[in-house]
Amino acid sequence: MAVVARANGGLDAIVVVAGGIEDDGTLPAWVTPRLDYAATAYANATADAKPRILLSGSMTPHKPPPMAKGGFNLHESTSMASYLMDKGVPADSMLKDTASMDTIGNAYYSLCLHAIPRAWTRVEVVTSAFHMERTRAAFEWVWGLAPHGVVDMRFVSTEDAGVSESALRARAKREAASAAALRDNASRITTMEAFSEWLFTTHKCYAVSRQHEIGIFDELDEESRKSY
pLDDT tens-place string over residues 117-145 = 999 999 999 999 999 999 999 999 999 99
Best CA proximity match to 53, nearest among 6, 9, 20, 18: 18
> What integer pLDDT is reported at residue 147 of this predicted model?
83
Q: Are 22 and 67 in contact (CB under 8 A)?
A: no
Question: What Cα–Cα distance (Å) separates residue 186 from each residue in 140, 142, 189?
Answer: 10, 8, 5
Q: What domains lie within the chain, and their CATH numbers?
A: 2-225 (3.40.50.620)
From CA 162, how far away is CA 173, in angstroms rounded? 18
Q: Is 80 helix (H, G, I), strand (E, B) or coil?
A: helix
> What integer pLDDT is reported at residue 150 of this predicted model?
79
> What integer pLDDT is reported at residue 63 of this predicted model?
87
Going through the chain in order, the beta strands assigned E by DSSP cover 2-5, 13-17, 52-56, 94-97, 122-128, 150-158
pLDDT tens-place string over residues 11-54 = 999 999 999 999 999 999 999 999 999 999 999 999 999 999 99
pLDDT tens-place string over residues 90-101 = 999 999 999 999
Query: pTM value?
Result: 0.91
Statement: residue 224 has pLDDT above 70: no
From CA 157, how far away is CA 131, in angstroms rounded? 8
Q: In what order do the strands lie in the sheet with 122-128?
A: 2-5, 150-158, 122-128, 13-17, 52-56, 94-97
Statement: residue 83 has pLDDT above 60: yes
> What integer pLDDT is reported at residue 149 of this predicted model?
74
